[in-house]
Amino acid sequence: MTTTSTTTRGTSSAQPSNTVEALHHQSLWTRIRRSWQIYVLLLPPVVYCILFLYWPMYGLQLAFKDFDINAGITASPWAGMKYINQFLNSYLFWPVLRNTLVLNLYGLIALFPLPIILALLLNHVRNSKFSRAVQLITYAPHFISVVVLVGIILMLFSPNTGVINIPIRAITGQPIDFLGPDMFAHTYVWSGAWQTLGFSAIIYLAALAGVDPELHEAARVDGAGILRRIWHIDLPGILPVTITLLILNMGQLLSTGFEKVLLMQTPLNTPVSQVIDTYSYQVAFNSAIPQYSYATAVGLFKSVISLVLILVANWLAGRVAKQSLF
């Protein structure tokens, strides 16, 4: 495996070698026949997807129906765009959309590079025992539940009883309200760093395992320092994985999960902390009967927007980094 081919590896319209190119000139049917074994390999996961991921999607029509539990999903009466419109016209629609995008974009920009940096640093530690110990410790917070995590955040950062605010209050006379509307986004995003960095770095470590150490040797002989080597060897080596994860994360830009936000929400920070998922949760909570149709409609909205985001991200990646998913 040579360096020159790695940069073009990830593109779907790669520069194929002769035999592969030759294949593309054959008829479609011939090519299908020649690839039958690949199709066989793909069969179990495809069947799985159809059964457990695609088949339930018939439930998406609930977004356009009034759900009658006795009649079932298919036989329920149609309601048209009623629920979609209710969401789009809701008084809280723009605020929750804005808050969701702000929190998630901030989180993405701030936190996306960090696991990469961690993986790179770990990869270049000379003492492998130290590196492995750090990996082990930093991956453990992943298992701490949201409730406990927020409890720890409050214990440290609460404007009322928080430990960190004691010296701050001594110096400035006023505690910093880490949960207030000004600081909420920062507290929310960076507390995630604690918990997720070590775990997210794993995938980059796996990618770095594929970088040929001889490349580094050769570069060292040529006099390149570690930072230059990281820049020219490691980063290109993990670029495909980075782009893939970035595009996938763009598709998740509208999902925050509601638990952590809800635990950190107060009447004072609600204008910036009310996101789509907490809104959905509160609507369900405030309703005497389950709102399947409305929940499905909100979910469908999220899916459509996420699709657009992924398409844009994919196209951008193809333009800028010459790598895209499809």
Partner 1 sequence: MKIKETAGDRTFNVVNTAILVTFTLMVLYPLIFVISASFSSAEAIANQEVYLWPVGFNTDAYATVWESPNLLSGFGNAVVYTIGGALIGTVLTVLAGYGASREDVPFRRVITIFFLIPTLVSAGIVPTYIVVKQLGLLDTRWAVLLPGAMSVFNVIITRTFYKMSIPNELLEAARVDGANDFHFFFRVAIPLSKPIIAVNLLFYGLAQWNGWFSAYLYTNDLGLAPIQLVLRQLLANSQIDPAMIGGGDVTEILKRRELFDKLKYAMIVIAMIPPLIAYPFVQKHFVKGAMIGSLK
Partner 2 sequence: MNSSPLSRRRILQATLAGLGTAAVGGSIAGCAPGGGGNDPGKPSGLESVPKATLPEPRTDMLFADGYVGPYAYDRKPFGDGTKTFRIVVAQDAQVVGDWNNNKTTTEVEKRTGIKIEFVPVVVRGTDGTIDMTKINAMLAGGDLPDAFMGIPFTTAQLALYGQQGLFLPLDDYINTYSPITQKVMTDYPDLRGLKASPDGKLYTMLGVNDCYHCNSSPGRAWVNKKYLDKVGMDIPTTTEELRQVLLEFKNKNPSGKSGFLPFASSESSPMDTFFMNSFLANPGNQLPGNVAWLRLNGGKVEFTANLPEWREALKYLNQLGKDGTLTQATFTMKDTELQQNGNKGLIGFTRAYWWGSFFNPVNLDLDAPWRDYVAVPPLKGPGGVQYAWWNYYGYSTDGLQVTKKCADPGALVQWTDYIMDLDTAMWTYGGVQHENWDYAKKGDVGINGKQALVSRKLFPAPVGTGWSQYAVMYRSSDYRLAEKVDPKAPTYEAGLYEAGKKYEPFAYPQDSQLPPVILSTEDSAAAADLNTSITNEVKVSLAKFSLGQLDPNNDADWNAYLDRFTAMNLQAYVDIYQKAYDSRPQ
How far CA 110 is from CA of 91, 106, 176, 185, 257, in Å, comes to 30, 6, 22, 11, 18
Hey, which residues between 78 and 107 contact partner 2 (CB under 8 A)?
83, 86-87, 90-92
DSSP 258: S
**Residue type at 251 in one-letter notation:** G
- Strand, helix or coil at 225? coil
HSE-up (13 A, CA, CB side) for residue 295: 16
User: Residue 299 and residue 304: Cα distance in Å, rounded?
Assistant: 9
- Does 284 participate in binding partner 2 (rule CB under 8 A)? yes
306 binds partner 2 (CB under 8 A): no
> By CB under 8 A, is residue 267 in contact with partner 1?
no
Binding segment (CB under 8 A) for partner 1, from list 86-94, 104-112, 266-274, 294-302: 294-302
> Is residue 77 within the footprint of partner 1 (CB under 8 A)?
no
The residue (of 72 and 213) whose beta carbon lies closer to partner 2 is 72
d(CA 219, CA 225): 8
**Interface with partner 2 includes 61 (CB under 8 A)?**
no
Compute how many residues bind partner 2; rule: CB under 8 A.
43
Which position among 79, 134, 189, 235 is part of the footprint of partner 1 (CB under 8 A)?
A: 134
User: Position of tokens 């009447």?
Assistant: 267
The vertex-304 CA angle with 298 and 306, nearest 5°, equals 100
Tell me the closest approach of the beta carbon of residue 139 to partner 1, in angstroms.
Answer: 7
Phi, psi dihedral angles at 195 (to 5 degrees): -85, -35
Nearer to partner 1, 48 or 94 (CB): 48
Q: Does 60 bind partner 2 (CB under 8 A)?
A: no
- Sites of contact with partner 2 (CB under 8 A): 66-72, 83, 86-87, 90-92, 147, 151, 154, 158-161, 177, 179-180, 266-268, 270-271, 274, 279, 282-294
